[in-house]
Amino acid sequence: MTRRLRKSLVVLVTAITAVVAAGTTAQAGGIPTSAAGPTKAVESTYSDRGPWELTTQKGFGCCDSTGAAFDVWYPTDLGANGERHPIITWGNGTFAHPHQYDYLLSHLASWGFVVIAADNTNTGSGREMLEAVDFLRRQDGDPSSVFHQKLDTDAVGAMGHSQGAVGTLNATAHSGGTVRTAVPIELPGQYMCTLGLPKPEGMTTCTDPRELTTGSVFYVNGSDSPISASTQPLPWQMIGIQSAQAYYEATPESLTKVRATLNGPNHNDIQGQPGCTPDNLGCVNGVTGFLGYLTAWVMDRLQGDTRAHSAFVSGTGELFGDPDWSNQTSNITG
């Protein structure tokens, strides 16, 4: 990273913090923060590793349109008992690489998903994420591939962190219905892409949830992230979409949608292995608290797991009574 770019990003984060400070302060009051493990039945089930042994391959195949190779995580015994495995395409945060999310992506693969991520640090457009899906679809049709006729190419989800969360929504909106569910994690406000400061290419790309026409969305953030606010002091119609609350509200009601805030994490806890590495200053607890409901969501949306589905029913679902989470909102009624 150049010195000029690093300095500009420091200024950018300072500006961001000022913009959302009122909303962030409001959300923090009275909310407990905890690094404790999950205690609820659905969350606890899916916080554990799944039944599949897994294989990880860095640089499995080439390439997205920028030349970045694809890393994959998948069940070792692909297709056992006739199983067709759903696909999750992953979007990295700015300056991040897939290996920094290895614990999370391995966890998802242990539950029967084939996870793919381009080793690309600019994923905001979502283009690279869709190219990853296209790559796996070709693999499914290739008799020489380990994935040949092992994938459920009609069950595709997109998931990503920070800039990759922007890419997650963009990939979903521009997929023509291919992506059935989106899970944006620590999604930055729209000011991130509009402030006129030097920044990586992918950070200049905005996303607008009003462009979503099909599928479902689960908005997830940590309460202490300075970049991904839970709430905002003024309506999004006045100041733009600057918080998880606003993204949720701007998402069409015709889509199935949920949002929730995990109490305590900073912006990079999702990169935990599972705890925080010493060099990750944006991580305070690690990834463990996220695992249960993230996995339950894709189990529901892509594998039809009715028990997982029950956790997200508005008002009565397990997520709504979980003290480690706040700002729970859902339009799922049954």
Residue 197: pLDDT band by 50, 70, 90 thresholds? low
Interval 69-76 mean pLDDT: 98
> For 63-77, 231-245, 307-321, which range has the lowest pLDDT when averaged over its residues?
231-245
pLDDT at 191: 85
**Distance, CA of 55 to CA of 76 (rounded, Å):** 5
CATH of the domain at 211: 3.40.50.1820
Count of domains for the chain:
1
Under 8 Å CB-to-CB from 44, ≥6 apart: which residues? 37, 38, 292
Q: Are the C-beta atoms of residues 289 and 319 closer than 8 Å to each other?
A: no
Given a cut of 80, whether residue 192 has pLDDT beyond it is no
pLDDT bracket for residue 204 (50, 70, 90): low
Nearest to 233 by CA among 15, 19, 12: 19
Q: Find the mean pLDDT for residues 67-72.
A: 96
Q: How confident is the model at residue 10 (pLDDT cuts 50, 70, 90)?
A: very low
Residue 272 pLDDT = 97
Q: Rounded CA gap, 43 and 253, in Å? A: 26
What single string gives the DSSP state of each residue in 210-251? GG--SSEEEEEEETT-SSS-S--SS-HHHH---SHHHHHHHS
Q: Which two tokens mark 136? A: 């796996």
Compute the distance between CA of residue 294 and CA of residue 262 in angstroms, rounded to an integer. 11
For the chain, give the percent of residues with pLDDT over 70: 85
Average pLDDT over residues 283-298: 98
Question: Token pair of 305, please?
Answer: 């797991």
Least reliable range by pLDDT among 38-47, 161-170, 176-185, 315-324: 38-47
* 142: helix, strand or coil: coil
pLDDT tens, residue by residue, 26-64: 333 333 444 445 657 999 999 999 999 999 999 998 999
222-251 per-position pLDDT tens digit: 999 999 999 988 898 889 899 999 999 999
Q: Using alpha carbons only, what angle is made at residue 271 by residues 186 and 7, rounded to the nearest 5 degrees?
A: 70
| pTM of the entire predicted model | 0.88
- State the residue range of the domain holding 220: 3-330
Of 75, 82, 83, nearest to 114 by C-alpha is: 75
Q: Check whether 278 has a pLDDT greater than 70.
A: yes
Tokens (6 digits) for 54? 């897994």
Check residue 1 and give its pLDDT: 39
Alpha helices in the chain (DSSP H): 3-28, 41-47, 102-109, 127-140, 163-173, 191-194, 236-239, 244-250, 288-303, 306-310
What's at 267, amino acid-wise?
A: H
pLDDT band at 203 (very low <50, low <70, confident <90, very high): low
In this prediction, residue 205 carries a pLDDT of: 78
Residue whose C-alpha is closest to residue 233's, from 22, 30, 29: 22
| Per-residue pLDDT tens digits for 83-131 | 999 999 999 999 999 999 999 999 999 999 999 999 999 999 999 999 9
- List alpha helices for 29-143, DSSP H: 41-47, 102-109, 127-140
Please, what is the Cα angle at 207 between 320 and 247, to 5 degrees? 25
Mean pLDDT value across the chain: 88
The whole-angstrom separation of Cα 320 and Cα 174 is: 31
